[in-house]
A and B are shown apart, each in its own frame.
Chain A
C-alpha cells in the first residue's frame, strides 16, 4: 500500500459525459501528480500541483481540468468524454522537497475509466 488513495477504482460512462476522479495523497506529501495510461501505452504526465498551486502542465486536454484543495486532496475533472479517453488514470504524490526524502513519487492504484 503506497498510501495514495484514489476513487473510484472503476468507472463506466457514456460519451459526452463528465466525471471526477479523486485522489488523497500520502500523509505529509504536498505534491500531487496526475498521469494517464492508455492500453499498452506509457505513462503520460497530465498535471502537477504543489500545496494547492498548479506547478506544471503536460499534455492535458482542454476538456480536462484539475485542482488541489486546502486539505491537499486533488480532483481531476474530465468532461465531454470521448471513446479515446478510456484509460487508467493514476494519481501520485511526493514530499516535494529538494532533499532525498521528498524525491520518491508514490502512485495510487489508479482509476479505470471506460467510455462507451
Chain B
C-alpha cells in the first residue's frame, strides 16, 4: 500500500519562511504533488516533482529525494492568505501507460499564519 506522512498542524508568522515535510513509502512511484486546500474548497495544484531536486515557483518551492522517500514544500514571505491545509500526494502505478496512475493523498498539514 501507499503510506504518506506529514505533520498535522504548523503555525508560522506572517513574512516568515515555513517548511512542510512529507515522507512516503510507495510502490511504482511516479511523482509527488503538493496541493493547497482552503476549508470547504477544492484542492488547488501547487507543484509537481518527479526528479530529485528543487522546483521553484514564486514564493513556493518543492524538493524531492526519491532515495529517501522525502519531500518538502517551502513557503516564503508568508501571507495571511497562505493559511490553509497543504496536501502531499504521491502519484503511483503498478503499470506504465496512459490512465495507469493514481494519486494518493496524505492527511494534510494545516498551516496557520499569525500576524
Establish whether residues B99 and A103, one from each chain, have CB atoms under 8 Å apart when the complex forms: no
Establish whether residues A102 and B98, one from each chain, have CB atoms under 8 Å apart when the complex forms: yes
Within 8 A of B (CB), among A12-71: 30-31, 33, 35, 41-43, 45, 48, 50-51, 53, 55-56, 58
Which A residue's beta carbon lies closest to that of B103?
A105
What is the count of residue pairs linking A and B with beta-carbon distances less than 8 angstroms? 67
CB distance from B107 to the nearest CB of A (A): 4
CB distance from B78 to the nearest CB of A (A): 23
Query: B59-101, CB under 8 A of A: which get 1 and which 0?
Result: 0000000000000000000000000000100010000111111
Q: Which of B41, B43, B44, B98 contacts A98 (CB 8 A)?
A: B98
What class of interface size applies to chain A in its complex with B?
20 to 34
User: Which of B31, B35, B102 has the largest count of A CB atoms less than 10 A from its CB?
Assistant: B102
**Alpha-carbon distance A92/B108, docked complex (angstroms):** 18
Establish whether residues B42 and A109, one from each chain, have CB atoms under 8 Å apart when the complex forms: yes
**Alpha-carbon distance A12/B32, docked complex (angstroms):** 35
Establish whether residues B41 and A109, one from each chain, have CB atoms under 8 Å apart when the complex forms: yes
Establish whether residues A55 and B33, one from each chain, have CB atoms under 8 Å apart when the complex forms: no
CB distance from B18 to the nearest CB of A (A): 20
Across-interface contacts of B101 in A (CB, < 8 A): 98
Q: Which of B43, B87, B103, B108 contacts A45 (CB 8 A)?
A: B103
Nearest 4 CB-CB pairs, A to B?
A: A50-B99, A42-B107, A107-B42, A43-B105
- A-B contacts, 18 of them at CB < 8 A, read A2-B42, A2-B44, A35-B105, A42-B87, A42-B108, A45-B104, A50-B98, A50-B100, A56-B102, A58-B102, A88-B40, A90-B43, A96-B99, A98-B97, A103-B50, A104-B45, A107-B35, A110-B41
